[in-house]
Amino acid sequence: MLLRSGDVLDIYVEPFIHSGFRLPNQPYSYYYRSLFSLHNETLSVWIHLLGAFVLIGQIFQHISQLSIHSYSTILCIYIIYNCIGACIMLLCSAQAHLLHSRTLADHLRSFYLDYFGINFYGFTSGIILYKFSHTTEYDNTNETLYYIILSLLSLYSLSIACFCKTFYCRPYPFSHKILQCSGVLVVYLFQIWPVLQNLILSYSKQEITEHEQKALVWHLLQFISFILSGLIFVGRIPERFCPGVFDLCGQSHHAFHLTIFLMAYCQANAVFEDMLSLPSNSIQYNFSKDLFFTLGVLSLQLITVALWFRISRPAIERRYKIHLKE
């Protein structure tokens, strides 16, 4: 049994989606079983679930190719590290769309974990791009400063997303989407700007290796995927023009999930080609430092999520108190 948009709390409803909503307040088993039935979140969940399996398969492909060229244990570790960050993002997104419509508490918890996954990947991706895709010479002071700024920006982006969920009410004004996207955009531009400079300067280079050329193509594809994901997320096309028609299949959020997966897939391929293009002695690896910052950011982001959940849950439950009684 599926419900119409008027039968559920408006916090569960996306604009221009009129049907395909699951029953609220059911046991968790009901939502897990809904993985295998058609509703308006089915494709959103499965695109990122399957995407995580594709990225895991990509690890084995890259490591097998690496062994053919110049096998390095530390490079394998960074390949796995990059995949873990991307898979956390995809799996956090999948669980959010699977469980968010159960209760208000589940809705907040699920989407705050979704925001955490996005920004944790923003941090791990930034580490990987700095190590292998930025052409600046290694400098420990610059690296530490880069890590600190990246950490602060990821925490800012996470807090902005939680703030928007807490203090904006549906129907959301356009400023909600702009503010929500601004944090992610700042994190992405901070880490991708040196790569974009490489793309522009590559046209003036006389000689470029095969791996460098492939890396630039994959970087361009990941940048295009990111831009498309943002435009799709904000524009809500095609359901904006045909409300109710694309509820179960073809709505913008399905395309948004697909472009996010493609961005992570292209980024992993780009970084791998960058790894192959670099001389083995050109990079100084300090994985213990990277792991220290990663665990620190992981802890701070989870604390941020817990704090925002404690702040927002009472406020939002008060907002929907009358509806909950009904």
97 assigned binding-site residue: yes
Q: At what angle do helices 140-167 and 174-201 cross, to 10 degrees?
A: 160
Please name the amino acid found at residue 133: S
253 assigned binding-site residue: yes
257 assigned binding-site residue: yes
Range of the domain at 284: 3-325
Summarised one tens digit per residue, pLDDT across range 118-173 is: 999 999 999 999 999 987 555 556 889 999 999 999 999 999 999 999 999 888 88
Q: What is the CATH number of the domain that holds 141?
A: 1.20.1070
How far is the CA of 141 from the CAs of 98, 144, 175, 307, in angstroms?
43, 5, 38, 32
Phi (first) and psi of residue 19, to 5 degrees: -150, 180
How far is the CA of 211 from the CAs of 226, 240, 264, 274, in angstroms?
22, 42, 19, 7
Nearest by Cα to 82 from 54, 114, 53, 122: 122
The whole-number pLDDT of residue 206 equals 63
The whole-number pLDDT of residue 280 equals 65
Nearest by Cα to 38 from 16, 21, 13: 21
In this prediction the pTM is 0.94
Query: In the structure encoding, which two tokens stand for residue 109, read together?
Result: 């918890």
Query: In the structure encoding, which two tokens stand for residue 55, read together?
Result: 């990225």
Residues 14, 15, 16, 17, Cα dihedral to 10°: 10
Res. 67: pLDDT tops 90: no
152-156-161 Cα angle (round to 5): 150
- Distance, CA of 28 to CA of 249 (rounded, Å): 24
Contact 115, 162 (CB under 8 A): yes
**Structural domain total, the chain:** 1
Phi (first) and psi of residue 211, to 5 degrees: -70, -35
Summarize the confidence of residues 212-226 as an average pLDDT: 94
222-226-230 Cα angle (round to 5): 170
Summarize the confidence of residues 12-36 as an average pLDDT: 95
Summarised one tens digit per residue, pLDDT across range 261-294 is: 999 999 999 999 999 888 766 666 789 999 999 9
- Distance, CA of 288 to CA of 138 (rounded, Å): 16
